[in-house]
Amino acid sequence: MLSTQIPWLTTIILLPLVAALAIPLIPDNQGKTVRWYALGVGIADLILMVYAVWQNYDLQISTFQLAESYPWIPQLGMNWSVAVDGLSLPLVLLTGFITTLSILAAWNVTKKPRLFFALMLMMYSAQIGVFVAQDMLLFFLMWELELVPVYLLISIWGGQNRRYAATKFILYTAAGSIFILVAAFAMAMYGDVVTFDMATLGIKQYPRAFELLVYAALLIAFGVKLPIFPLHTWLPDAHSEASAPVSMILAGVLLKMAGYGLIRMNIEMLPNAHVSFAPILAILGVVNIVYGALTAFAQTNLKRRLAYSSIAHMGFVLIGIASFTELGIGGAVLQMVSHGLIAASLFFLSGVTYERTHTLIMEKMGGMAQAMPKVFALFTAGAMASLALPGMSGFVGELTIFLGITTSDAYNPMFKVVVTLLAAVGVILTPIYLLSMLRQVFYGNENSGIVIEEYLGDAKPREVFIAACLLLPIIGIGMYPKLATQTYDVKTVAVAAQVRQVLPTVIAQKQRSPLYSTALVAPQLAVPESQVLIASE
């Protein structure tokens, strides 16, 4: 009984932050102690999470669990209110997992190690805070709190162009996040009760125009982060300049904050507006997929290519969110988890490569498989996962999203055909850019121009370990998706049910988009027949 009284989530959020503030007390300038300290904190927090969930979380319940709420600024109605549900849970675990591994990946940081690890731990806290905050203002605070470490991590430990990239990052995302604040205040102030509690805000009834405006504001904020075309251009710069551990977190966790926000706020709190915006999201998703893939193919820089592939993959999340089906929304969550793992592994491996070659320009590499076969093998596995090879998690995510959009009865068939077809073009384009990346970097004769650091050689056990840690869940989920889906399934079903509930009423109104189907059941489908068949079997 004791375990239920412990403020689990608060502890989990605050542990890394407090630990980060204690780093100046550690008497060590070489970074040898501090990295063990940071790793220890990371692992401890991860264990704490897993234990808290194991003991106190019931997977069969779709509502919030482990909830805590303490008044923080009562004048404003702001509470320290945190809780997890099926939507938060997989992403919180993902955060703990990826951040801990990225601390291990940053083992060789020699420049200002204490500050580096302090920032990593701060980021750890902020990310978890984002995923569990149940108060709009707390959410915003956590969202901002995470920007600062990323900014500094890029601008101090980045590559040649780090200041440009870091500034661009902070300008884009800070400008974007202002919209969250505006939306939060608008919703909080509306009506009689002033509150930032998300659940209460979700129940409030807003006028249609107001809801659309708030939705649009949040869409811009999350659109920068996800990123959605045309707000994506900070991402390739940030990725190509950030060091590998930071890229791992950037691609592995940060982008997911936007996907999470879209489901948590745009769908759950503003379902009416979502019905109006969903076709746009689907179109943007398709644009992301095709545009991201084509641009990725044209990149000559390894990390920029991977960055654009992230844009393409996040397009699937948008389509899933827009699908109005359990499959699609569940697929969006799965795609986020899976992309987090896959992108982290690819960025990590590109960092491993960079440490040895000191270049990211693929044309300068070539034939590196001979010198580093292990890196080659791991990179191939990561690329295969990224191109949605079955047996790995990316495939399950994309397949469920495809099934979600094709079986969605909300859209008219023509729209569905176009969206599915164009999204499937991504299925062809993805292997083109990923395999030609492998070909340019690893295949062929050894490139005489490239100098591989002799003392490093092939992947070290630590590096193999990190990559293996990432590949293991990728393959595990791919082999048996229920491992991941059961953590969120009841919740995404509830979300889909909620948004489908408002679908008929909104469609019945005049604002109905021509892209929706006229009746909710696709007319061509002759559902009765197939049901008769099922019954007769």
Partner 1 sequence: MEAIYQYAWLVPVLPLVGAMLVGLGLISFNQVTNRARQLNAVFVVSLLGAAMFLSVALLVSQFQGHAPYIRTLEWAAAGNFHLTMGYTIDHLTALMLVIVTTVAFLVMVYTDGYMAHDPGYVRFYAYLSLFSSSMLGLVVSPNIVQIYIFWELVGMCSYLLVGFWYDRQAAADACQKAFVTNRVGDFGLLLGILGLYWATGSFEFEAIGDRLQILVETGSLSGLLAGLFAILVFLGPVAKSAQFPLHVWLPDAMEGPTPISALIHAATMVAAGVFLIARMYPVFEGIPAAMNVIAFTGAFTAFLGATIAITQNDIKKGLAYSTISQLGYMVMAMGVGAYSAGLFHLMTHAYFKAMLFLGSGSVIHGMEAVVGHDPALAQDMRMMGGLRKFMPITAITFLIGTLAISGIPPFAGFWSKDEILGSAFAANPFLWFVGWATAGITAFYMFRMYFSTFEGKFRGNQSEIRQKLKSAAANTLMSPSPLAPNFGPGAMDTRELAALSDDSHGHGHSEHPHESPRTMTLPLIALAIPSILIGLVGTPYANYFEEFIYPPSETLAEVMEKVAEFDQTEFFIMAGSSVGISLIGITLASLMYLFGKIDPAAIASSIKPLYELSLNKWYFDDIYHRFFVLGSRRLARQVMEVDYRVVDGAVNLTGFFTLISGEGLKYLENGRAQFYALIVFGAVLGLVIVFGVT
Residues 473-532 that bind partner 1 (CB under 8 A): 480-482, 485, 489, 492-493, 496, 522, 524-527, 529-530
Closest to partner 1 by CB, 8 vs 488, is: 488
Nearest distance from C-beta of residue 518 to partner 1, angstroms: 16
Residues 211-270 that bind partner 1 (CB under 8 A): 229-233
Closest to partner 1 by CB, 209 vs 533, is: 533
Does 102 bind partner 1 (CB under 8 A)? Our answer is no
Does 65 bind partner 1 (CB under 8 A)? Our answer is no
Nearest distance from C-beta of residue 129 to partner 1, angstroms: 13
How far apart, in whole angstroms, are the C-alpha atoms of residue 517 and residue 408? 10
Ramachandran angles phi, psi of 107, nearest 5°: -60, -30
Does 446 bind partner 1 (CB under 8 A)? Our answer is yes
Nearest distance from C-beta of residue 450 to partner 1, angstroms: 14
DSSP conformation letters of 413-434: HHHHHHHHHHHHHHHHHHHHHH
The residue assigned the tokens 């915003």 is 140
Nearest distance from C-beta of residue 248 to partner 1, angstroms: 21
Site string for partner 1, 144-183 (x = CB under 8 A): xx--xx-xx--xx------xx--xx--x------------
Contact 112, 60 (CB under 8 A): no
Using CB under 8 A, which of the segments 40-48, 89-97, 143-151, 281-289 binds partner 1?
Answer: 143-151
Nearest distance from C-beta of residue 494 to partner 1, angstroms: 10
- CA 13, distance to chain mean position in Å, is 19
Using CB under 8 A, which of the segments 7-15, 71-79, 265-273, 511-519 binds partner 1?
Answer: 71-79
Does 39 bind partner 1 (CB under 8 A)? Our answer is no
The residue within the footprint of partner 1, chosen from 36, 57, 210, 297 (CB under 8 A), is 297
Structure tokens at 440: 């340019």
Integer CA distances (angstroms), 36 to 39, 106, 421, 467, in order: 5, 11, 49, 19
Closest to partner 1 by CB, 49 vs 314, is: 314
The residue within the footprint of partner 1, chosen from 11, 108, 420, 447 (CB under 8 A), is 420
How far apart, in whole angstroms, are the C-alpha atoms of residue 462 and residue 103? 12
Contact 418, 412 (CB under 8 A): no
Structure tokens at 303: 């990390």
Residues 381-410 that bind partner 1 (CB under 8 A): 384, 389-391, 395-396, 399-400, 402-403, 406-407
In DSSP terms, 69 is beta-bridged to 81
The residue within the footprint of partner 1, chosen from 359, 443, 498, 502 (CB under 8 A), is 443
Using CB under 8 A, which of the segments 204-212, 246-254, 430-438, 512-520 binds partner 1?
Answer: 430-438
Nearest distance from C-beta of residue 205 to partner 1, angstroms: 25
Contact 95, 13 (CB under 8 A): no
Nearest distance from C-beta of residue 144 to partner 1, angstroms: 5
Closest to partner 1 by CB, 252 vs 331, is: 331
Sign, CA torsion 408/411/416/419: negative
How far apart, in whole angstroms, are the C-alpha atoms of residue 239 and residue 530? 49
Site residue total, partner 1 (CB under 8 A): 94
Integer CA distances (angstroms), 369 to 297, 373, 442, in order: 21, 5, 5
Q: Helices 393-407 and 461-479 sit at what angle, rounded to 10 degrees?
A: 30
Closest to partner 1 by CB, 222 vs 395, is: 395
Please count the other Cβ atoms lying within 10 Å of the Cβ belonging to residue 535.
7
Structure tokens at 139: 């959410």
The residue within the footprint of partner 1, chosen from 380, 412, 447, 513 (CB under 8 A), is 380
Structure tokens at 353: 């490569």
Residue 340 corresponds to which amino acid?
G
How far apart, in whole angstroms, are the C-alpha atoms of residue 450 and residue 457? 13
Does the N-terminal peptide bond of residue 149 adopt cis geometry, omega within 30 degrees of 0? no
Nearest distance from C-beta of residue 306 to partner 1, angstroms: 15
Nearest distance from C-beta of residue 254 to partner 1, angstroms: 17
Nearest distance from C-beta of residue 431 to partner 1, angstroms: 5
Does 439 bind partner 1 (CB under 8 A)? Our answer is yes
